[in-house]
Amino acid sequence: MIALKLGVTADDVKNVIIWGNHSSTQYPDVNHAKVKLQGKEVGVYEALKDDSWLKGEFITTVQQRGAAVIKARKLSSAMSAAKAISDHVRDIWFGTPEGEFVSMGVISDGNSYGIPDDLLYSFPVVIKNKTWKFVEGLPINDFSREKMDLTAKELAEEKETAFEFLSSA
C-alpha cells in the first residue's frame, strides 16, 4: 500500500512492523519504516506527508486484509498464509540484511516493549545464523503503545480461553 501510494516497488519499502496478533487488532507500524525515493532513503511519514491516512485507512485496511481476500476470492486466504510461511522460512534460512528487520510471531518472553511474557506476538526481529532476536530500543509513541497493548490484551484473552477449554476437556 505504501509502495503504491509513493509510486515505488515494494522492495523500496523496509522495516514496516506488524505488532501483535494476526487479527483485526494487529498494528501495522510505519514509525520506523524507510522508503527509497530517487536513490535516497527517507522515513515513510516524511515521504508520504499524510499522517491521517497512515493512522486511519492504512491501518484499517491492513487489519481487514484477510477478510477482504476471502470476500474478494470467495475462497480461503490460505495462499496469503502460505506466502507468509515461505517468507519466514527464507528469512530464517538467509537472515535479514544489515539494517533491516522483519516482523515475526515469536514468543514474547524477554521483550523490551512491555508486552507480557508467554504470548505468541508479532515483533520486529533480526535473524542471523538461523536465530532470531528482538529489535531492541525502538521508541514507541503513545499512539503505538495503545495499539500494541490492545492486540496484546486480545492475545492474552485468547490464551486464557484456550487454557479454559483445555482444562475442561
Q: Which residues are catalytically annotated? A: 22
19 closest CA partner among 28, 10, 11, 8: 28
CA-based torsion, 118, 115, 120, 133: positive or negative = negative
**What DSSP letter does each residue of 23-46 carry, written as one string?**
STT-EEE-TT-EEEETTEEEEHHH
